[in-house]
Structure 1
Amino acid sequence: MDNDQANYIRHRLQRYEESIRETQDHFDHLESFGSYRACAPCYEKFGIPHLIEALKNSNGMEETFWQEYDRISGKLAAFTTSKGQIYRDMLYADLKNYVAAYHSALCYADLNMITLESDHDLFNREAIRALIAELHGDYDTRDIEILVTALDESFLRMKETTEGTCLKKSQVPAHPSIMAPITRKKPFSVCGENDPKRQI
């Protein structure tokens, strides 16, 4: 087993647990774009199972990591239950805010006002993926998923243009709850008449 890989998983698990504590401690001050965000535990949780599953020749560490992951996830479940629907609605509000910000950021990038690389934090793509995975069973996220798929396609085209390379579509991570790609007759213009927000 790669020690760096194991240490990274430990680091991610630590961040996951800390995010739950911070969300509890600052619950009355959570903001979508603030220092403390409702989605932080979901964001930190997202991807950890894939990291654990990817361990090779772990000499039992894989099971240890799963036990730690389950223990921390139990804390998140207890916290979520204690806050009830209010917290779930806060997560859904975060998702909508991040998708709106992603769309706006692509518009700015299309106008060369920001760049895909140096301003990548403005796109919130990982947080969006984490929240769709968390919420798609409780909320009807189909329209959001269609919109995000369209935005991802625009992101990919911009990246191809910027880098002058032909990137594969697989290089833009698919959202976990999207089962099949969305096909369209013509590509979207992010800020023009084919704006994806006008398609749904």
Structure 2
Amino acid sequence: MLERNMTVEAAVMENPKVLQELQKLGAEYDFIAMESLEDALKSLGENCDAFIKRVEGQSDFKDMDRVRKMNKEELIHYIVDEIHPYELATTEKIDEIFRGAIKKYYRERGEQLFVIYEVLLLIKAELVSHFSSEEEFEFKDALAGKDVDFENLLAEHEKTIGLFDRIKYLTRDYKMNAEEPEIKELNKLMGELDEDMRRHIYIENEILFKM
């Protein structure tokens, strides 16, 4: 499985198709072999998540045909009215299940669950702060036709993806080994939230911020 923070060399060893795709982008392998895959792709003007999906033969994010037809105003309202509420509600639901699971299974797997839960709390705090800032400042200015500097949001997106990469690693790609129904539900919900968040960030970074 390819990861954003692995070196290009490690990524090529993991999946030889990485080298072919990098060469199509004009990359010189010898010069970027020791860089992280994410940094190398950034220097080539390529989105890391989209690249990984393409190399691993995964389909595009869901409903992107509709998203790509939206103008700036429609896209901002879509993010604020649909994406933000869904992700906050899902995070809250995951939080609730985690707290119950830690209390119920603290003897068997309390330490493992709490380590993951700590990262979830960081994600939750980051999302609340990030969404409120977007809605109150950058998006309002964008709708008012003002020039907006999205650098802070881009940096926050990187931080958020880093947290999701961490929780993905801790849960073995959201496949925690367990028979407990709560753990199975956590695997499912965290995987769905991860996918939606990467789609959300792709929409903003690669579409909205370039309008």
TM norm structure 1:
0.33
More helix by share: 2
* Larger RCO, structures 1/2 (Cα 8 Å, 6+ apart): 2
